[in-house]
Every structure is written in structure tokens, then in C-alpha cells.
Homo-oligomer: A and B are copies of this chain.
Amino acid sequence: MLIDRQKAAEILTENDDFLIISHANPDGDTLGSAYGLCGILQGMGKRAKTICADEVAPRMEYLKKAVIPQEFEEKCIVTVDVADVKLLGALEEKYGDNIYLAIDHHESRKEFARYTVVDSTAAATCEMIFEIAQLMKAKLNSNIAACLYTGLSTDTGCFKYSNTTSRTHNIAASLIEYDFHHAELNYKLFDVKTRGRIDLEMRLMRDMEFFCNDKIALVTITSELMDEFQGRVDVEDFNGLASMPRQVEGVILGVTIKQKGENVFKVSMRSEEPITAAKLCSLFGGGGHARAAGCTINGNLEFVRAKLLPVLEKAVKSV
């Protein structure tokens, strides 16, 4: 059942013994929402704990400071930033059928909870948590503020992307009034790279291919390459590479081909107007946003390239 923020605030106010679940392979928004909401509920004198199917990355360990670990039997299960029950990962089997409240900002969702509050205009689920906390007249502190700020910051590329709104900036303004070190936190979240990641980026940059007068840039990540970097990079280090090719000046279509299995390749595209990444990806059964989209093509790398490149070149040449 779809509800509004006010009703969500009432549910949280009226219940107790909360278990808050983040999505698997967790990012800053799902974790910031979970630890932030957990801290807020504890501050209201309630019992609350949070779990995730996967580990919290070391650079986000600070989020845990918002919460005092508590042992109790959960009565009210809440998911945050979870668009599909499958995204609970290993926790789906145990909790999937018993989600009482889902708080989320994803546009495309599969409903699974008894009550769902969703707002796809929110840049981050943390925006919604902040607003629900206000409706509950809950008190924040610097640790909770750091959690909610983390969600805002990570989901918007530090207020850089088009999903950032006035509302995002206004909430950020309220949050940094609490005395946490937002600059240090952003430094950890955005600037620091492992030496393995740096080596990987250098390799990918070196081997980047250009087509159509350098308007298309292509990066290829094969299983062999991943094996070669095994042990030198974290699993996380293979994420966030899709934005690399379009960072090169003059490129209007950046493409990343990443091997997912023996004959399975995930293709990510980032485009500039008037190239529509979603439209190009839809030709291969994929989709996404206008300027950031993806598709999966089966076959060996040679086959994938032969299928993909002529289509991309035609699209860019027609501009």
C-alpha cells in the first residue's frame, strides 16, 4: 500500500523494535539511510538495529557511530533504498515476506512491503529520511547528520549530478549545521583511490580506443584483465569505471564493455546531447536514463564489438 511521508512518520512513531535493512552491495545512500534512521529511532527511545547482506566498506565505517548496538527480537522490519525484494541479497529468504515499511526513491520499483513510501523526485532516500524525521520532530546529532549527508552526497556525486535539486541543497545546508567534518568525509568518499585502482585506471586509459574522430571512446574490461589485477584491487575498484571514457575532452559517447561471463558482456554508455544512451542501449534490449544506460550482449568479444560498433558509429556520424 502506497503511503505518504506523514503516514510513514506515524508508523515509525507508533511502532517499536525495528530492524532496518539496506540493500545488498550497499552504497552510501542505503547505509546512510539505515544508520541514520536507526540512530533517529534510538534517539526517540526506541529499540532499533540495522543489517545488510554485505559488508560496509571501510571508508564508510564512520556511519556506524550513529547507532548503539542493541540485542532484541525485531517486530517491525523496514527497508531503505531497496527497489526490489531481490536486492536484499542473502537476507531476502529470511525477511523478504515480512517487510512492514519500505522507504525508497527509485522510479522503477517492484512493491514488496505492506506499506511503501516512495518519492522518485528525491535525489537520495536520505532526503526522505530527513523529511520524515522532521515530521516526527526527531532530534538529530552530528553522527546522524553525517549519515544522512552521506546519502545525499554519494547519490549526487557530491551535488554534481542533475538529480541534485534545491531541496537537496537545502537539506545539506541543515545537515552541515551539525558539527561533523563533511570535507573529510567527502575526501574519503570521492577522492581516495587504492594504488591498485590507480594502476587499473592507468591501464584502461592507456588501452582506450577512439572512433569517429575521437567522439566515441571505448574501454574494455575482460575477465583476463580482472584476473591480472586480482589481489591488487578491491572488488569495489571495478565499479564506477563507466564514467571514465566520457571524461576525455571531445568524447560525446563513452562506452565501457565489461565481461560478465564466458560469452556475456555488459555494455555501459554515457552520452552527451544529442546522443541518447538509453535509445542506443534499447536497440540491444537494454535501457536506462537518457545520458546513462546499459545493455547486455551475449557472444565473444569480437562478436559483441562487431554488433555494437557500427551502430554507435552510425549514431554519432548522424549528429
Contacts and interface: CB of A to CB of B under 8 A. Distances in A.
Contacts of A194: 248-249
A167 to B, nearest CB: 8
Interface stretch (A12-20, A25-33, A35-43, A178-186): A178-186
A176 B157 CA distance: 16
A236 B161 CA distance: 24
A103 to B, nearest CB: 23
Interface stretch (A72-80, A112-120, A198-206, A280-288): A198-206
A248 B193 contact: yes
Given A159-B172, A202-B206, 10 more contacts: A157-B158, A159-B159, A161-B186, A162-B183, A164-B182, A166-B174, A173-B173, A193-B248, A195-B214, A198-B205
Contacts of A246: 191
Interface in A129-175: 157-162, 164-170, 172-174
Given A248-B195, A248-B198, A176 B181 contact: no
A184 B205 CA distance: 23
Interface string A266-282: 00000000000000000
Query: Can you tell how many copies of this chain the complex includes?
Result: 2
A37 to B, nearest CB: 22
Contact of A166 (B157, B159, B176): B176
Contacts of A190: 160
Given A166-B176, A182-B164, A183-B164, A193 B159 contact: no
A192 interface: yes
A243 interface: yes
Contact size class for A? 35 or more
Contact of A159 (B158, B161, B198): B158
Given A169-B173, A172-B169, A206-B202, A192 B160 contact: no
Q: Is the interface of A mostly helix, strand, loop or mixed?
A: helix
Nearest to A168: B173
Contacts of A243: 191
A286 to B, nearest CB: 22
A33 to B, nearest CB: 20
Contacts of A166: 173-174, 176-177
Contacts of A249: 192-195
A230 interface: no
